[in-house]
Structure 1
Amino acid sequence: MPLEHLNVTVADPRAAAETLCALFDWEIRWEGASIYDGLSVHVGDDASYLALYSPRTPLAAAEDSYHAQRGLNHIGIVVRDLEETEARVKAAGYRPRSHADYEPGRRFYFTGPDGIEFEAVQYD
């Protein structure tokens, strides 16, 4: 079964949505009130999306996700044109790193909005 969505907590769902839509050619699928008097903005395409959530209360900084149970290590996004996506990432002020070319595709990583790590991958 395909993955439908992921839900991540961010400081400002609207700002994160704007950035991710620009980087990945996504659209806002839905926006509205959510649990704990919070706000959710769903961004993605017709097949899947990323739910960006923020509660009403201020958020505490999290530890390094690679060393915490229930941590989110990174979110992998399939892109049509890796070089174009990398140019967008750089133009948005983020630093691409860890470029690799191995089966099944080419990829790079970057730390994006709210310190969330993303992997952009292109399958040829």
Structure 2
Amino acid sequence: MATVLVVDDDQFDRSLIVRNLMRVLPDADIVEVSDSGKAVQVFQDKKPKLAVLDIRMPAPDGFDVLSEIRANPEYDGCSVIMLSGSTSANDVQRSRNLGANDYEVKPDSLGGYRELAEKLASNWL
């Protein structure tokens, strides 16, 4: 059973992501956390196969967590998807430079969250 980590400080966004991932990955161990500090602990304890990280969170932000993940070879098997409301080319480029596998803009509809979950499942697990 694959572990999927969802990190987002916005409870509503996090619940939409988690609920849709549970629908398309019913056998996955989906762990949700609201802050970056807890995310690092989940990496140490569960070594997720997929992590979905919000960028804009209280320090440390998603970029900091991504840097920490990519600095540890123990987590090389984890696909990291950065998720943000930002469409900034700088955020996309910074994510890629730090080792993110992909960058997704947060959907603006329930159907969009459903499509995002299906894409994450098919592309990264």
Normalising by structure 2, what TM-score? Answer: 0.32
Greater RCO, 1 or 2 (C-alpha within 8 Å, sep 6+): 2
Higher fraction of strand: 1
Normalising by structure 1, what TM-score? Answer: 0.33
Higher fraction of helix: 2
- Which has the higher Rg, Structure 1 or Structure 2? 1
